Amino acid sequence: MRGIGFVAGGALNPDRAGKVSKELIHVSDWYPTLVGLAQGSFNGCLPLDGVDQWDTINSGKPSERLILLHNIDPLYPKLGKSLYPNTWDTSVRAAIRSGSYKLITGDPGPGKWTLPPNSTVEQSQETADLKNVWLFNITADPTEHFDLSGGRPEVVKAMLTLLSKINETAVPVRYPPFDPKSNPAFHGDVWGPWK
């Protein structure tokens, strides 16, 4: 998952104009970054999930963010059996990035990604249908085609431990019931707030 953004303005170091950063930055980092730029106060709302990324943006320094949680979705149907005891249940849908590695567990969903014919992974269709762990080196393989999970169990276990630790502080998931008044057909065919 990659996003593109840009920063402009009088506070930006002119030497950074036109520079591209591949540092790890999450949307939750904007709040502390903008509050810091405005010399504002967090008024006791610490700890934050985000970190101030101004030095990364303005000076090209390495990001303080080393881990990025993409998602944990315990309400999505489980897939297969848990791979390792005493760590994250790999049948639960989740994704996390740590450094150059990205780990996906559970059912990855109906994406367009398919295992290429020249992939480093060979498995039967039955095994493929129950597979619930993928590990990618995002730096070397940004399109996530070469699953390293079988050859790097120590990395998989370390990232599963990270998922477990993060999940300990997670707010319980709640999906409100569907409200038929939310139908875009009632609002000029546009998704938006409704009463």
- Averaged in consecutive runs of 10 residues, what is the pLDDT profile of the chain (195 residues)? 78 87 90 93 84 94 92 92 93 95 91 56 55 94 92 97 93 84 90 84
Q: Are residues 86 and 116 in the same domain?
A: yes
Residue 1 lies in a domain: no
Residue 47 lies in a domain: yes
Could you tell me if 156 and 105 are in contact, meaning their C-beta atoms sit under 8 angstroms apart? Answer: no
Q: Are residues 46 and 83 in the same domain?
A: no
CATH number reported for the structural domain that contains residue 135 in this entry: 3.30.1120.10
The whole-number pLDDT of residue 126 equals: 45
Both structure tokens of 43: 């008024």
Both structure tokens of 140: 């070397």
Say which amino acid occupies 133.
V
The whole-number pLDDT of residue 1 equals: 59
The whole-number pLDDT of residue 124 equals: 44
Per DSSP, 52 falls in state -
Rg (CA), the chain: 20
Q: Are residues 54 and 78 in the same domain?
A: no
* The Cα angle at residue 107 between residues 106 and 108, in degrees rounded to 5: 105
Q: Are residues 52 and 96 in the same domain?
A: no
The whole-number pLDDT of residue 117 equals: 56
Could you tell me the residue range of the domain that residue 51 belongs to?
A: 15-59
Q: Are residues 96 and 121 in the same domain?
A: yes
Residue 184 lies in a domain: no
Report d(CA 87, CA 165) in Å as an integer: 9
